[in-house]
Chains A and B, each alone.
Chain A
Amino acid sequence: MPALDLETIKKEIIDSQLWRSVFRGGVWKDTPRDRAGHIIGNVWLHLHPVKVRPRALEWAYTWGMGGISFALYLLLTLTGVALMFYYRPTIGLAYRDIKDLEFAVTLGMFLRNAHRWAAQAMVVAVIAHMVRVFLTGAYKKPREFNWGIGVLLLTLTLFLSFTGYLLPWDQLAIWAVTVGTNMAGATPILGNEGPLGSLVGMRINNDVRFTLLGGTMVGENTLLRFYVMHCVAVPLVVGILLILHFWRIRKDSFSAAPYSAAEEKIDVWPHLVKREYIAAAGTVLFIMIWSILQNAPLEAIANPNVTTNPSKAPWYFVGLQELLVYFDPWIAGVAMPGLIIVGLIAIPYIDTNPKGVGYYAWKERPFANALFMLGIVMWFALIYIGYALRGPNYAWYWPWESWYLPKAAPPPTWSVFGPEGVGAYSMLIGIPLLGALSAAWMLLPKLIQRELDGRKAMGGFLAAVAALAVAGVALGRMGAAEGGFLLFFLGASFYFGFVLPQRHIRTLDWPRYLVTMVLVVSTMSVLLKMCARLAFNIKYVLTIPSINMNI
């Protein structure tokens, strides 16, 4: 009897017609050819290059966030398809189906939790991916276009999450979506409540909000629309853009990390693939454990007649909702997010700084990094305020205060060009004055040719504001808190909106300089308007009632 030779048996199996018809390549010998074949011969893996520079693989460089976002997208597709077997998008059945998932379907609650938490995690992961790409300057030439696709993918991720928010058809869902979609009604020109909307014939039943909702309020049509967008339309678009995104990464040599002479490329199989696997496995594990320990929220069944107090948008939009305290909906809900998206896409085209491509460069890109991180910090600070510090009637509640404690109504507000202000000369004085001020602010940093001493400029400005605040307090026109607000907001706006641009981008050519300053001044005006409202209860600094436009 011949000895049982495992090697021979293995070879027999691998060389059999059945095996070879499924898997190309023979016995694995771990040669470079074998490793390359693994990538080239596999439809799923061949979006990778065969070899990659070791710099591209460092965790500290990549954070793994792009891969984790994609892993979450796949996990969401998987759990989402499973959930679709149980869920019917009609207002009579949707809520009951969710209850069934929770109480009767095997692993139904686990599935729903996983889908819910993975969606939240994906929002975070995509934003983290964007932050990483920004900080390492990986959007710079030749990757400008792919950065733009990335921004669109981020927007679509938020939209996917938002459309999914409605589907459980509970109070949380209907009111969050009501808050979110009401902002669409304030779109300039296209919304019935937006500036110029009524001039072009927008009514509540033919504007962009109506199109989104399929009605004048969140109802049966909205549920169906959101369901189709959530499960079919948006994932399709995301899929198409993802392919483009990946393809571009591959074509653009996979990583922006700079070349070094002694560098030798290494095989993607196994070096990159194993990292991807571990990142994905860690993510899935994290979502699984989260889903076991914490159930997705489900409130009472949706009731359009009973408004929850407070009603909040999904957490990633709560920052914009918080802006509603300071701005009219068309600014907070449409102009700001629009400007953010356009501004993000524009970044690679206005940032001509050739340094800092493929590595962290705090010293070489002070302006870009400072402004971008300011935007990110503001985004999350506003989310924190809106999510954690706002209670019933959207009043301010500290985390240690009970929501059952009634709060005083906010003090009455006034407008600069209103009856309590200087009167109704908004067209005559307000527009020219505000226009001149913003124009001066935009032009001045570039017009001052000599580079200012940042410390001196900042010190002088803060001293002036402090003197103003002290005078105000001494005259009894404001309290210490108002003085503090003034110092903080004016100081921040001056530093980020004037000192930094003056020192770092005054040499930019005029078109790029102006676009940058428009973005910078709009960001700062958010801070300034917050200051005006928090410290002095100013509702509008400019009122043009005839076209429904108030700032």
Chain B
Amino acid sequence: MSYRKAFIVSNALMLAAFVWAFAKDFNAEWRPYQKKYYQLAADALEKKGLKDEARRMRRSPVEIKQIIAGDLGRFDRCVTCHVGMDEYVNPTLKNDFAENPYKSHPKVDAALVKAHPFTKFGCTSCHSGQGLATSVDAAHGWVKHWEKPMLKGVHIQGSCVKCHGNFETLKGAEAAALGKKAFNRQGCQGCHMINGFGGTTSVPLDDIADKPFERIAGYNFKRVQIDGKELRDEHHDSHWNIQNWILGHLLNDPAEVTPNDPFAHLNAEPIPPSGMPDFRGEISRSEADAIVAYLSGMTKEEVVPYRYHVPAPPAREPRLSGTARGRYVFAKYGCQGCHGLDAKQGRRRFNAAGDGQKEYDDTLPEAEQFAQMNLGAEPTLPNLVGTYTHEELVKKIQNGVPAADAKKWSPKGPLPMVTMPSWKDKISKSELDDLAAWLLSIAKKDDSGF
């Protein structure tokens, strides 16, 4: 090719490339949605005989729209496609369209929506997602590196928890309230502290909604199953989110979600699987979702101005005394997280030596050894406390049990996790007395005559 030809061709190609780039930019995903909305809205106006309004609607400029909710640090361009929710185009915020993104926001007359005007709260304050984005996947947060995608189903009630300290009595936040109830019923607070209340055995959950995926060891979402189905391999779609991570711990055996390295294949020392008990038999599917909803509101990253907060009513303790109060104290501090509901049956404690296990045998295959280690359990209190006096029991609870005292089933296996922490500074003396009294009252009586 001669240089003259190359000159003409390269110039033409550069022009063509620029036109291509411009066309790609101009044909952004949001544009057809907005145009279609103006059409639909204009048609609807015409049907009502409002010709002028219809013409004006049809001529509306096609543009990126955004809600700036400065107080909450939100710059939400959602209304660029969801035009029906833009107060400037659709002042009544109502229309008859059934399909997204054209339909208007449901329940705009309900107190819930009325109390949260879009212009002040934006969209992502409640719904999450990527407000700055203007393409479908990116805006809903179904992309890699956007770790707070839109909340689905009841999980959105976590957003109520962010500001409403009183969410337990709040209309519309029933799931989050149920979630907190289930959370405390199962004794999660025994290990997971929330806002200063609870044990320190595992991670605090008061910022669990902000947990970066980088901190989820090995990104092992792949081991999470939701309703028996594995999450898709790719983590840049809507399935890899913190909600499914929490849900995965409630719908699966956490030891399978975080198996770690109990046989020291990859590390110098064995690392036990997750110490979290398997709650599958005790939590229903809807309760699991409710717990996720409750925990979705646990954020420290999203700073909400103080005047947006609604304080919680002062906590009220039930008026109880004696063993009844002891039973209440047991549940209040989450002892059932390890010792089972009403202290009936100790939960799993990996590689702890105890009843029902075979003799340790080095030659057993690993799977068999794993099953035996998995049979290790926390103490079933009624079998145990009978040998203690009241004072001894109180002391035991106050001081806890050092981790090194644990008896291993496999001497080569990991040290059993989840040891009894010291409750000295958490449970008051009078509570402790009642707790010990209750525990002694449920102790198994020795039938042997001694």
Binding site for B on A (CB under 8 A): 96, 99-100, 102-104, 106-107, 109-110, 170-171, 270, 274-275, 277-278, 281-282, 284-285, 288-289, 291-292, 298-300, 303, 306-309, 392, 403-404, 406-409
Contacts and interface: CB of A to CB of B under 8 A. Distances in A.
Given A106-B25, A107-B21, A285-B13, A306 B214 contact: yes
B3 A288 contact: no
B265 A281 contact: no
Given A285-B10, A292-B20, A409-B268, 11 more contacts: A96-B132, A103-B135, A275-B3, A278-B10, A281-B11, A285-B17, A289-B17, A306-B215, A404-B218, A404-B219, A408-B266
Contacts of A99: 132-133
Contact of B21 (A281, A282, A291, A300): A291
B237 to A, nearest CB: 16
B75 interface: yes
Contacts of A408: 265-267
Contacts of A104: 64, 77, 132, 134
Contacts of A110: 21, 24-25
- Leading 8 A-B pairs by shortest Cβ distance: A281-B10, A288-B17, A99-B132, A103-B134, A408-B266, A306-B212, A274-B3, A299-B145
A107 B22 contact: yes
B132 A100 contact: yes
A292 B21 contact: yes
A281 B219 contact: no
B218 A392 contact: yes
A211 B216 CA distance: 35
A404 B134 contact: no
Interface in B254-272: 261, 265-268
B138 A277 contact: no
A524 B75 CA distance: 56
Q: Which of B11, B21, B134, B147 has the largest count of A CB atoms less than 10 A from its CB?
A: B21
Contacts of B328: none
A309 B217 CA distance: 10
Contacts of A270: 3
Nearest to A412: B268
Contacts of B20: 292
Given A96-B132, A308-B214, A288 B18 contact: yes
B33 interface: no
A277 B21 contact: no
Given A281-B14, A285-B14, A409-B266, A303 B212 contact: yes
Given A96-B75, A277-B7, A288 B132 contact: no
Contacts of B13: 285
B303 interface: no
Contacts of B7: 274, 277-278, 281
Nearest to A306: B212
B284 interface: no
B3 A103 contact: no
B219 A278 contact: no
Contacts of B266: 406-409
Interface of B: 3, 6-7, 10-11, 13-14, 17-18, 20-22, 24-25, 64, 75, 77, 132-135, 138, 145-147, 212, 214-215, 218-220, 222, 261, 265-268
A278 B21 contact: no
17 contacts: A103-B134, A103-B138, A106-B25, A107-B22, A109-B25, A110-B21, A270-B3, A281-B11, A282-B10, A288-B18, A298-B145, A300-B145, A300-B147, A306-B215, A309-B214, A404-B218, A408-B265
B372 to A, nearest CB: 24
Contacts of B22: 107
A275 B6 CA distance: 10
SS of B interface (majority): helix
Contacts of A406: 218, 261, 266
A404 B222 contact: yes
A292 B3 CA distance: 26
A290 to B, nearest CB: 10
Given A282-B10, A409-B266, A288 B145 contact: no
B134 A278 contact: no
Contacts of A274: 3, 7
A345 B21 CA distance: 42
A284 B64 CA distance: 30
Nearest to A104: B64
Nearest to A392: B218
A116 to B, nearest CB: 14
Contacts of A288: 14, 17-18, 21
A103 B25 contact: no
A198 B24 CA distance: 56
Contacts of B10: 278, 281-282, 285
B81 to A, nearest CB: 12
B75 A103 contact: no
A378 to B, nearest CB: 31
A314 B11 CA distance: 33
Nearest to B1: A278
Contacts of B134: 103-104
B388 to A, nearest CB: 43
A59 to B, nearest CB: 12
Given A274-B7, A285-B13, A292-B20, A103 B77 contact: yes
A282 B75 CA distance: 40
A119 to B, nearest CB: 18
Contacts of B14: 281, 284-285, 288
A308 to B, nearest CB: 6
Contacts of A289: 17
A300 B14 CA distance: 33
A409 B271 CA distance: 13
Contacts of A103: 77, 132-135, 138
A307 B214 CA distance: 7
Contacts of A109: 25
B220 A404 contact: yes
A99 B3 CA distance: 41
Contacts of B25: 106-107, 109-110
Contacts of A292: 17, 20-21, 24
A292 B19 CA distance: 11
Contacts of A170: 145
Contact of A409 (B215, B222, B267): B267
A100 to B, nearest CB: 7
